[in-house]
């Protein structure tokens, strides 16, 4: 029967809060208490040896807290477990003879069972028999919402860490391997052994041998580090299939960009065709960046966590045996380098496309300026012709107006002669012709000057 639910690190040590009599600080930031308690968000378990730790981590994409809470309610005595108990991303359920810890992270959720190690667990035996000996039945583990990332069975026992031969004999039936990977952890206080192989049940196995004086808290911290190393390692490797999938597309895109750059050197190539091709290529690269850059960044972040956890274990070698951390780093480094190189390649290709776009814009701008220059030249020639035509029209206008004015003078002279005035019309018109022409020319020039101003 369940006795206690932990959603905070050490609830029994927290004194009840009473209103403080004196206000000694300004009002607290809304997130201050949450950020302050983050250091206690996921405390390690206290494990009493010998113990069996069953650990499963699943991807939680599309899985809600309500679904995970409903699955936890399937445990004995947890029918009334509230969803609010899962709000803090950490929950420990304590039962009479075992504990179950639930944790939710950004991309995965993990479930850890700590129970007493079955008596014949280290004697080999049937994998199905070991699963049936779990206090939580296999059907419950199989129904966890999500997709499995990591599944580990870790046996933790007492032993002599100064006797490598005895430790190998202990590990051989559990790991089904005569030459397991092994490391001394801390200041020769524990030994961790594994072969990192998946068994038919889908679990991999770890063995931890610690001296009899190992504290429950240290055993819990050691268990947490080993489980986190394997989880973060597999989460880091999730970027490798993405990188391999992108490699052919990146090679094709680089070849296409090189072809576009070569075609830009040809003066007879259509700028519009180049622009259309470049825009389509840029869209493909931006779509790939938006879709996969988070995965690449997450891979590097998980890898840093793996390195940190390995460093915290403070490994020491056992003569004739490869260390766990050394094995993991050697196997993990090529994959991480591939992911990192693919991410850099994607960024570099995006920058090259941007530079090519700038060159193409420059080419288009130069062509547009040349067209504008030609248009301006045509407009200038048209204006010159228009000015010449205008000058010609002005000269003809002066002549026409002068002709009409002189004709009027001639008619006026003839009228005066007919009236008996001694005026010779032709002589009068001829004498006034220069005056009329000069007057009309001067008036036209004044009008044009006034319009120009």
Q: What is the pLDDT of residues 102-112, one digit of tens each?
A: 999 989 999 99
Q: Strand runs (DSSP E) across 211-337, as ranges?
A: 315-316
Strand partners, 204: 152
Asked whether the beta carbons of 239 and 337 are under 8 A apart, the reply is no
pLDDT of residue 236: 93
In the chain, where are the structural domains located? 41-224, 239-376, 388-452
Confidence grade of residue 10 (pLDDT, cut at 50, 70, 90): very low
Q: Strand 90-94 to strand 4-6: parallel, antiparallel, or no bridges (unpaired)? A: antiparallel
pLDDT of residue 385: 78
Q: What backbone phi and psi angles, to 5 degrees, belong to 314?
A: 50, 65
For residue 418, pLDDT beyond 70: yes
- In angstroms, rounded to a whole number, what is the distance separating the alpha carbons of residues 125 and 127? 7
d(Cα 103, Cα 91) in Å, to the nearest integer?
7
* Integer Cα distance of 157 and 191 in angstroms: 10
**pLDDT, tens digit (0-9, with 9 covering 90-100), for 128-161:** 888 888 999 999 999 999 999 999 999 999 988 8
**Residue 13 pLDDT exceeds 70:** no
Q: Tokens representing 54?
A: 């069953």
Strongest mean pLDDT among 13-17, 206-210, 274-278: 206-210
Task: Single out the residue of 142, 115, 207, 215 nearest to residue 169, CA to CA.
Answer: 207
pLDDT, averaged across the chain: 83
- pLDDT tens profile 335-371: 999 999 999 988 888 888 888 877 777 777 667 777 7
Eight-state DSSP code of residue 121: G
* 6 has pLDDT over 90: no
Q: Over 80: is that where the pLDDT of 241 sits?
A: yes
Q: Is the pLDDT of residue 318 over 50?
A: yes
- What angle (nearest 5°) sits at the alpha carbon of residue 76, between those of residues 75 and 79? 75
Please report, rounded to a whole number, the percentage of residues in the chain having pLDDT higher than 90.
27
Question: 377 or 313: which carries more pLDDT confidence?
Answer: 313
Report, in angstroms and rounded to the nearest whole number, the Rg of the chain calculated over CA atoms: 46
CATH class of 239-376: mainly alpha
And the tokens for 332? 């993990």
386-406 pLDDT per residue, tens: 777 776 666 677 777 877 888
CA-nearest of 65, 72, 12, 8 to 42 is 8
Most confident residue range from 119-128, 195-204, 255-264? 195-204
Q: Is the torsion defined by CA of 277, 279, 284, 285 positive or negative?
A: positive
Looking at residue 162, what is its pLDDT? Answer: 84
Residue 5 has pLDDT above 70, yes or no: no
């Amino acid at each position: 029967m369940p006795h206690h639910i932990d959603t905070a690190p050490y609830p029994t040590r927290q004194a009840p809060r009473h209103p403080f009599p004196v206000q000694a600080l300004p009002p607290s930031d809304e997130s201050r208490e949450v950020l302050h308690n983050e250091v206690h968000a996921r405390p390690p378990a206290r494990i009493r040896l010998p113990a069996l730790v069953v650990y499963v981590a699943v991807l939680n994409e599309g899985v809600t807290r309500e679904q995970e809470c409903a699955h936890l309610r399937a445990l004995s005595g947890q029918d009334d477990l509230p969803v609010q108990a899962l709000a803090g991303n950490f929950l420990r359920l304590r039962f009479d003879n075992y504990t179950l810890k639930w944790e939710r992270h950004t991309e995965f959720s993990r479930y850890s069972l700590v129970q007493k190690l079955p008596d014949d667990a280290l004697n080999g035996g049937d994998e199905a028999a070991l699963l049936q000996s779990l206090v939580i039945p296999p059907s419950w583990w199989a129904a966890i919402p999500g997709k499995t990332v990591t599944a580990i069975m870790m046996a933790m026992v007492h032993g002599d860490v100064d006797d490598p031969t005895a430790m190998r004999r202990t590990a051989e039936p559990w790991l089904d391997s005569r030459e397991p990977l092994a490391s001394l952890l801390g200041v020769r206080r524990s030994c961790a052994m594994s072969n990192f192989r998946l068994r038919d049940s889908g679990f991999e196995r770890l063995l931890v041998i610690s001296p009899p004086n190992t504290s429950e808290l240290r055993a819990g911290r050691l268990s947490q580090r080993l489980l986190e190393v394997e989880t973060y390692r597999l989460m880091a490797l999730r970027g490798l299939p993405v990188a391999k999938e992108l490699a052919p597309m990146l090679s094709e895109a680089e070849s296409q960009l090189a072809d576009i750059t070569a075609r830009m050197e040809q003066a007879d190539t259509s700028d519009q065709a180049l622009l259309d091709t470049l825009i389509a290529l840029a869209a493909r690269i931006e779509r790939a960046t938006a879709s996969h850059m988070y995965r690449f960044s997450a891979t590097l972040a998980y890898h840093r966590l793996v390195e940190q956890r390995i460093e915290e274990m403070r490994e020491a070698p056992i003569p004739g045996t490869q260390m766990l951390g050394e094995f993991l780093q050697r196997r993990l480094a090529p994959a991480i380098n591939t992911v990192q190189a693919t991410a850099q390649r994607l960024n570099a290709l995006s920058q090259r496309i941007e530079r090519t776009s700038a060159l193409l814009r420059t080419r288009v701008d130069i062509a547009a300026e040349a067209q504008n220059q030609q248009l301006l030249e045509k407009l200038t020639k048209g204006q010159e012709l228009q000015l010449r035509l205008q000058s010609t029209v002005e000269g003809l206008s002066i002549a026409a107006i002068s002709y009409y004015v002189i004709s009027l003078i001639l008619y006026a002279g003839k009228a005066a002669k007919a009236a008996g005035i001694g005026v010779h019309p032709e002589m009068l018109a001829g004498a006034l012709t220069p005056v009329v022409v000069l007057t009309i020319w001067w008036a036209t020039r004044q009008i044009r000057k006034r319009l120009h101003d």
